Homo-oligomer: A and B are copies of this chain.
Amino acid sequence: MDEEIRARRAACTDTFLGNGLIRPRELLASIDPETDPDTYGEGGVVTELERHVAALLGKPAAVFLPSGTMAQAATLRVHADRRLSRTVVWHPYCHLDQHEGQAHQRLHQLIGRRTGDPEHLIALGDLEEVAEPVAALLLELPQRDLGGALPAWDDLVGQTQWARERGAAVHLDGARLWEASAGYERSPAEIAALFDTVYVSFYKGIGALPGCCVAGSAADVAAVREWRARLGGTLFALWPAAASALRLLDEGLAEMPARMRHARAIWDALAGVPEVRVVPDPPHTPMMHLLFAASAETFRENARRLAEETGLWVWPSGFATGDPDVVRAELSVGRATLRHKPEAIAEILSGLCM
């Protein structure tokens, strides 16, 4: 984010994006000053959070890590180290494939095999084309870069069965598992039961300081813990982020059904706004992608004016699409979104196209 945009955001007073313009003061307030600290990730609030998350996901164990990049590559490596193959099958928009500097390959000697069509969810037929031995299948629920789309439950079950039949591990990129839970109307544990290991995040939908957990068998979690140390994630004190997560997790999770309803209400309100389309249509989870009938410049200019004239923060620019007259943006439906009426949001979104 360049300095001009940072300054503009800092001057804004409201937003309907995600959990809002969370300021340092607000995040610091999520850390109990009486927190029982850990020592190098052992004991205190870190152990408490790990136990809470393991129980929530119905797994024997969980380990807290500073980031998803560290967590998921290490977890997949643990699966590969127990198998003959280094190949991990994933969607072309998998976070590890797109946003992690090929760390899986450079640090862990994993091969990411892109499976299926970028603009669609993985289907069983895509998996059946894979002939080589596979160490793990990674599924992201919901698929963020497809607007938070979820496969039908039976498809999901079939895909995880495909992996198990081949002796491959099944790993869930659950960066937004809390949102997937609302979309499926199934508990996090019910979804997690299909997977050997589950990664969940605390700073996105939950709005805590950065941090995450990997849950799974005691053996897999212990091995991830070893890699956390080697990767430099076993800090002398992990308690600030863990305390923030523990404080905010349950209330964030409890709010997910309301966020799901709000997402559908926003979609409803956009039915009469042809210049803003929703992907997926209707939304599967408390998030969606929006396609604006606007050039990149028009969108950027409208967003700037909105921020400067009304103090309302939206995306400073949209993502390019294949169509120069259409830009795309991601709407996470969070605490802040709930404070805005769907009709008011639809009107502002429409205004970004004018």
Contacts and interface: CB of A to CB of B under 8 A. Distances in A.
Given A25-B34, A43-B6, A66 B240 contact: no
A107 B35 contact: no
Contacts of A28: 28, 31, 33, 240
A68 interface: yes
A299 interface: no
A2 to B, nearest CB: 9
A78 to B, nearest CB: 13
Contact of A232 (B10, B23, B44, B70): B70
Interface string A6-36: 1000100000000000011101100111111
Contacts of A25: 33-34
A80 interface: no
Contacts of A37: 23-24
B31 A101 contact: no
Contact of A34 (B1, B24, B232, B233): B24
Interface in A226-246: 226, 229-237, 239-240, 243
B203 A68 contact: no
Contacts of A102: 230
Given A34-B25, A67-B235, A236-B210, A107 B230 contact: yes
A198 interface: no
Nearest to A44: B6
Interface string A27-64: 11001111111010011100000000000000000000
A106 interface: yes
Interface string A189-200: 000000000000
A101 B228 CA distance: 10
Task: Enumerate the 9 nearest inter-chain pairs by beta-carbon distance, A residue then B residue, closest first.
Answer: A70-B232, A103-B230, A69-B232, A25-B33, A67-B232, A210-B235, A101-B230, A24-B35, A210-B236
Given A73-B232, A231-B232, 18 more contacts: A6-B43, A6-B44, A24-B31, A24-B240, A24-B243, A27-B237, A27-B240, A28-B31, A28-B240, A66-B233, A68-B232, A71-B232, A100-B229, A101-B230, A103-B232, A203-B237, A210-B236, A210-B237
Interface of A: 1, 3, 6, 10, 23-25, 27-28, 31-37, 39, 42-44, 65-71, 73, 100-103, 106-107, 203, 209-210, 226, 229-237, 239-240, 243
